Amino acid sequence: MSADLLFHDVRIIDPVRGLDQQGNLLVRDGRIADLGPTIGIPEDAEKISAEGAILCPGLVDMRAALGEPGYEYRETIASAAAAAAAGGITTLAALPDTMPAIDDPALVRLLRARGEETASLTILPYGAVTRGCKGEEMAELGLLREAGAVAFTDGSRAIGSSRLMRLALSYARGFGAMIVQHPEDPSLANGGTATEGAQATRLGLPGIPAAAEAILIARDIRLAELTGGAVHFAHVSTAEGLALIRRAKETGQKITCDTAPPYFDLNETAIGEFRTYAKLSPPLRTEADREAVLAALADGTIDAIASDHQPRDADDKRLPFALASPGGVGLATLLGVTLAQVHGGALGMVQALDLLTARPARLLGSDAGTLTKGAPADLCLFHPDTIWQVEAGSLPGKAQNTPFDGRALEGRVLGTWKSGKRVFG
């Protein structure tokens, strides 16, 4: 039996209930026992207070690559868990495009178990849509679901075949699961390294038309209508793609989407003079697209903000821009970059935290992301006004390929708790 833990006189935010108030929260036996401005305070409770701090549910990251199995030189589950804890993340959905891919029920169970072993991070595995995430033969979706897969995706690879996508949507619908799509037409994106336009032309880089995103979104919306299946579009980054999703939602289709901090904080100029840390997939977009992503976050079109954590080894990035691997780390910076939009007035604090906690939890069918009584005490305590600077090489975790290198952020995690146990801070 652990001692009671009391968060004293902090700003408590629970987006599930729209709660935003100054008060206390009591943790007992790893669960939330009580909260409010006037609650009974045990004399022997360990007290934690931080003037001006906010206490919210542990963040729920619905899209991250962990490196294991197969790419441990980039990241391990242990190093990713440390980075997640530093970023206030207590629940994480892991992509399946590892080596081997998560296309076997035993690997789904293994990832869940490895998450429990960290004692700081709940790992919710995605199952692969196709064997090896190769886009050729459909995996055993039913068996993967039984083993604990929360949804199905081929990770950073688009499901390019219309026939295969239709079959996957039909099968997944039978057991209430969604297909998570990387929305980028493979034939249009093949060989490209930056968004097609003036910036790519000036740098002499092969371009990917922004329309590649909208084309696949339009196709899959139609396939979802045809099958009655549920499609979730990952890291949506263009105004055209978001307009299609907005219209589909208005007609009641089972369409959801997320985005990632680079697509509302950076634009294509971050590439600079061939800065490979800013080479992402999808590529950074125009300023007009960035503004459209922010507007879609504000109006509710976008359902969640995910880290889109893609760890890369230094050797993956120390190459000519066209040859460097796309991807950026995002666990430690997820909260800080999102809070920049709160400080800038684009999002409210409760709204931003909803996109990082309750809403992704609902999409994943998880009971995380809430401060209700009796819920596990997965908690994030942060000060919204503390300024810090992102420095590649000094981030928690193994991989350091951040597109935000040098960025000053306002808002820092003070502590993270998993089932009432402090795992960071």
Q: How far apart are CA 148 and CA 108, in angstroms?
A: 6
Give pLDDT < 70 ranges for the chain.
Answer: 1-2
Tokens of 208: 């990917």
Q: How far apart are CA 2 and CA 214, in angstroms?
A: 52
> Residue with structure tokens 């998570």?
180
- pLDDT for the residue numbered 1: 52
Cβ contacts of residue 140 below 8 Å, gap of 6+? 103, 105
Cis peptide before 384 (omega within 30 of 0): no
Question: Are the CB atoms for 311 and 80 separated by under 8 Å?
Answer: yes
User: In CATH, which of 3.10.450.50, 3.20.20.140, 3.30.460.80, 3.30.450.40 is domain 60-363?
Assistant: 3.20.20.140
Q: Mind listing the pLDDT tens digit for each residue in 388-423? A: 999 999 999 999 999 999 999 999 999 999 999 999
Q: How far apart are CA 377 and CA 7, in angstroms?
A: 12
The class of domain 5-54+376-424 in CATH terms is mainly beta
pTM of the predicted model as reported, rounded to 2 decimal places: 0.97
- The yes-or-no answer on residue 308 being catalytic is yes
Closest by CA to 421, choosing from 67, 95, 116, is 116
DSSP calls for 246-270? HHHHHTT-SEEEEE-THHHH--GGG
Q: How far apart are CA 396 and CA 394, in angstroms?
A: 7
Q: Mind listing the pLDDT tens digit for each residue in 271-292? A: 998 999 999 999 999 999 999 9
Longest CA pairwise span in the chain (Å) = 67
Q: How far apart are CA 372 and CA 353, in angstroms?
A: 15
Q: How far apart are CA 92 and CA 115, in angstroms?
A: 9
Q: How far apart are CA 189 and CA 182, in angstroms?
A: 12
Closest by CA to 131, choosing from 111, 112, 110, 157, is 157
- pLDDT for the residue numbered 361: 98
The ranges assigned to domains in the chain are 5-54+376-424, 60-363
Q: Which one is catalytic: 103, 104, 265, 308? A: 308
Q: Mind listing the pLDDT tens digit for each residue in 58-100? A: 999 999 999 999 999 999 999 999 999 999 999 999 999 999 9
- The strand pair at 127-128 and 122-125 is best described as unpaired
- pLDDT for the residue numbered 2: 67
- pLDDT for the residue numbered 44: 87
Q: How far apart are CA 225 and CA 218, in angstroms?
A: 11
DSSP calls for 327-389? -B--TTTHHHHHHHHHHTTSS-HHHHHHHHTHHHHHHTT-S-S---TTSB--EEEEEEEEEEE
